[in-house]
Every structure is written in structure tokens, then in C-alpha cells.
Structure 1
Amino acid sequence: MSMLGLFQKCRVSAYCGVLSVRKQVRSIHTFKMAEKSADYSTTNGFESKTPFLIGVAGGTASGKSTVCQRIMEKLGQQHKEQTERRVVCISQDSFYRTLTPSERLRAERGQFNFDHPDAFDDKKLLAILKDILAGKKVEVPEYDYITNSISPHRSHTIYPADVVLIEGILVFYFPEVRELFHMKLFVDTDSDTRLARRVPRDIMERGRDLEQVLNQYMNFVKPAFEEFCLPTKKFADVIIPRGADNLVAIDLIVQHISDYLKRSPADKSIALELGLSSSSVPGSPQRAGKGGRPH
């Protein structure tokens, strides 16, 4: 059976280092996918494409960005010019909302909850993703972790691409955003490992002190993960334990994307409408009811 045929039958979960498969009839809800042209056109001087949109969720310091980097590297996209990339990555952090003066003061003291859904501008994220799905070139703002603000003078351009990865702690939390994804990945990493990664990162890269990092983690990050992020794991098509260390899961995802990239524009459009992520993987030893993924 062809890769596409296999991938059209089941949802996939990477669990315990292998993939467990659960049968399920599922349609991909996007914003009127059928109205999108199968042909490429020119927008803003660049080839317009309807991309395969992949969401990558998971807790803080779970390895979401690293997983995306590994995928980009294995597909040979990391060192290409922006205009030549067929696979691009966007961070949800670019869509933090602008803080009020009082919120900014709280943020400077480590007393603002950046892991709460209210910290994000989900409407702006939704609008950008719709533009991306429409094949448009977009400008994505850059977030400054030291000042806790969106840079008014810096942004990066996302050109039309075949595959777009969106990573963030709450990319599956907002229903309208979640329904745009053709595939949803959840990076599932042990909480102790995530904390061990977050502490040195925030101290060395973001100028925070140890007490501030630990207080913020205990008071905001951990509770928000359990209340808002972890429940979205049930929406994932693929769960990746151990993050970037799970080479089996990453290789399977890369192979899936590679097969998609080889298709003609017309075949890509058909694959998206059929629901490319409703899929199965050959050789998966686990089936529904026999070690299916936990929720």
C-alpha cells in the first residue's frame, strides 16, 4: 500500500518510543479548504502555495523548538535562504499580546503569568495563519524575552512554503487555531527534565535570577501547564515522548513530510482535503485497545 493510503486510515501516536495507532474516521476542519485553489499563483511577487500546516505543542522546555529544528535539518532546510525554503517554522511566542504598564511591572518582578491563554493574542495568530494558508507572504513579529515585549522594529518575513510548523505551549488551546492544523504533534517530556532545562535557559539567555525562575515556575508555569497545556494533548495526532531524543518518531514525521513534498501541486491539494494526518504507519505493533496512548 502506498504511503498516502496508509496515512489516510488512522491517527498516529508516538508512545514509548514506538507508534501506537488508533482507528478513527476524522475530517480536517480548516477555513473552507475546498475553496483553496490546487494551483500555485503569484502573490506579492512570490509563488503562492497552500501549505501543510503542522502544530507542535508541549510544555515549557519540552523540546518543541528542537524537534522543529531537527525536522528542518533532516529536510535540508536550515541553511537555505528564506525565499527558497519549502519548510518554515513559526513560534507562538511571537504572538504574545502587548502588556499594559502595570502588567509590565509585574512581569519585571516575575509576577505575570506568561503561560496563561490570556497572555496571547490569539486573534492575531489566527489571522496570520489564515493568511499563510491563503498562500500569502506574512510578517511575523519578534518577541524580546528580556524586555517581555514584542519588538516594534523587528520582524521576520515568512514566504509561501509547502510546509509550515507552528510551535508553542498553547497552539492547540484555541479552537479556531487548532482546527486549522493538518497535523498536530505533542512533545511529551518529563516535568523534571523540563524544569532542569528551563532554569539554566532563563538565567543565561533571559537574564533572570534563580529565585525568580523557581518562583515563576511554581506559581505560574507548572499550574498553567496542568490546567491549559496538558489537556490539549488529547488533540494530538502524534505524541513524541522525550522530544528530540525520540529519533524514531522524528524520522517517521520527516518521511511523511518528504513524501508530501514530492507530490505535484494538484496531489498536495487532494491530500490536504482528504486529511493527510488521518493516517497509519506501516509496521506499528500497537493497535487501539492494546496499549493505545494515554490521555
Structure 2
Amino acid sequence: MISSFLIAMSGGSGSGKSTLADALIDRLGPGQAVIFHEDGYYWPMRHYGPCETEAQRAQIIAAANYDDPASKDTRHLANDLAALKSGQYIDQPVYDFDRHDRAANETHRIDPAPIIILEGIHALSVPEMIPLIDLSIYVDTPDDLRLARRLRRDVIERGRTVENVLQHYLDTVRAAHYRFTFPSKFEADLVIADEGLPAYGKVCPGEDAIDRMLAPVISRLQSAGVL
């Protein structure tokens, strides 16, 4: 099988990269592409030490910086990505955000496809993955819009308090973004400006906005002979 074409799509938390990745999947059509989320590769809690009691688990959660690439098993991540790109299926780990731990007996099978879309805040920040990438994309979104989206997600979908989300953002998220994620903007093949894809609630992005954001990506794929 010919090696798959790997698109790596990064941007800060709440930048809209997942929305753009899903839109690209829809535009390419069935069987043409698969999404590879990096979140499954967060280290299991046991990686940090004993976690049998609630006190131990709480201590690990408080100390871990999940916005640093070191919070992920990047070797496993790069190996799975290389295998998928070479035409092999993979069983991707699944991370349970409610428990802050990797699911012990659950994996997600991903079959190879002509195009792989790697999506995540560290998609362009892991040295082992850089040689595998054929097209790098950074979704550039204002900080206030990203924070609004993150606040809504963590409070409504993950049951956290506003105070907890804001404290976490100020303690680790913001600093890690500017240390690890933001610099990749200046190395990316494409920088795509977010046009306000849903900041709050279930607002759907307009077709015109999606078209404008996808246009440079489709053009690059056509120039590379992938489409």
C-alpha cells in the first residue's frame, strides 16, 4: 500500500481545529480520510506513581501538567502514527477525561486511509512525529475566544467549576500554550485564521466560513496530487 498522506493540524485548546478536521473529513468523502486524535496517548495515572487511593489520585491530578507534551507517551504516539501511515491498522488507547486516566481494557481501532488527519495541541510539537508530516496546519484563534470555548466545555461537559477552569488555565494552560503550541505557528505550512466557529452553545459554523478555511487545505492537497 502507498504511504498515506499525513496532515497535522494544531492550535491552542479551543482553537476550532477539531471542527476544521471534521469539516475536512466531510469534504473529502467516505473512505478518503481518518482522524487520529492524540489525546488517547496521555500517560496512564500509574505512570506517575501509586494511585490506589483517592488521595493519591488527587495528588497526581493536581501535580500533572496535561498541556505539556511530556504528559503523553510520545514514542507510542509516533509509532502508531508511523504504522497507520504505512498501511497497518492500529488499536489506539482511549483516555477517560472524567477519571483522568487511560481506559484499562478499551481501545479504538483505526484502519488506514489515503489521508490521515492528526489533530491536537501537540500535533506539531513532538520531534518524533515531524518527519512523518506531509502538511502542517496551525489554526490561529484569539485567546479570548479559545478560553470561552474551553470554559463552556469543561463546565458543561466535564462537570468542573468556573473557578477550577480559570485557575487551571492561568496556572498551566496559558503558559504551556505559549511554550509548546504557539511556536509551531511559525513553522507550519499553512496558518488558517479561525472565523468564529462556534464559540458557545451549539452554534453551527456557516458554510461560507467553512469553505474559506478549507480552501487553502484543498488547494495544497490538489497540488500534492493527493486529490
TM over 0.5: yes
CA contact (8 A) 2:17 2:119 kept: yes
CA contact (8 A) 2:20 2:210 kept: no
- CA gap of 1:73–1:225, structure 2 versus 1, over 3 A, is same
Distance 1:157 1:148, change over 3 A: same
What residue is the counterpart of 1:178 in the other structure?
A: 130
Instruction: Provide the C-alpha distance between the structure 2 equivalents of 1:250 and 1:146, rounded to a whole number of angstroms.
Output: 33
Question: In 2, Cα distance between the equivalents of 1:227 and 1:216?
Answer: 16
Partner residue in 1 for 2:202: none
The answer as to whether partners of 2:85 and 2:116 remain within 8 angstroms in 1 is no
1:240 aligns with 2:192: yes
The alpha carbon displacement at 1:107 in A equals: 5.5
Q: Does the CA contact (< 8 Å) of 1:91 and 1:166 recur in 2? A: yes
Amino acid at match of 1:53: L
SS at match of 1:124: helix
Which position in structure 2 is the counterpart of 1:61? 14
Q: Which residue of 2 aligns with 1:95?
A: 41
Task: Letter of the 2:33 partner, please give it.
Answer: V
Q: Could you tell which deviates more after superposition, 236-245 or 248-257? A: 248-257
Between 116-125 and 239-248, the greater mean CA deviation after superposition: 239-248
* Residue 122 of structure 2 is aligned to residue 144 of structure 1: no
Alignment of 1:249 onto 2:205: no
Q: Which structure's relative contact order is higher, taking Cα pairs within 8 Å and 6+ residues apart?
A: 1
Contact 1:74 1:254 in 2 (8 A): no
Q: Which moved more, 1:152-161 or 1:113-122?
A: 152-161
1:106: how far off? 3.5
Tell me the matched-pair count: 207
Query: Which residue is 2:171 aligned to?
Result: 219
Determine whether 1:51 maps to 2:4: yes
Written as runs of structure 1 = structure 2, the 5 A alignment for 1:99-138 is: 99=45, 100=48, 101=50, 104-106=57-59, 108-109=61-62, 111-138=63-90
- Match of 1:96, as an amino acid? Y
Distance 1:129 1:205, change over 3 A: same
Task: Report which of the two structures shows the higher radius of gyration computed on alpha carbons.
Answer: 1
| Equivalent position of 1:19 in the other structure | none
Flag structure 1 segments of 5+ consecutive residues without an equivalent.
1-39, 41-48, 78-84, 263-295
Share of identical aligned residues, percent?
A: 31
User: 2:104 aligns to what SS in structure 1?
Assistant: strand
Structure (1 or 2) with the greater helix fraction? 2
Q: Deviations over 1:47-100 (max 9, x none)?
A: xx41001101110110111110010111223xxxxxxx2200011111111123
SS in structure 2 at match of 1:50: coil
Tell me the secondary structure at the aligned position of residue 132 of structure 2.
coil
Deviation at 1:258, TM superposition (A): 6.0
Matched residue, 2:139: 187
Contact 2:91 2:110 in 1 (8 A): yes
Alignment pair present for 1:155 and 2:107? yes
The answer to whether the aligner puts 1:204 opposite 2:168 as a matched pair is: no
**Residue in structure 1 matched with residue 28 of structure 2 by the alignment:** 75
Amino acid at match of 1:253: V
Q: Answer yes or no: is the 8 Å Cα contact 1:187–1:240 preserved in 2.
A: yes
Q: Counterpart of 2:119?
A: 167
Cα drift, residue 192 of structure 1: 0.2
Q: Does the aligned pair in 1 maintain the 2:10–2:120 contact within 8 Å?
A: yes
Q: Distance in 2 between matches of 1:168 and 1:196?
A: 18
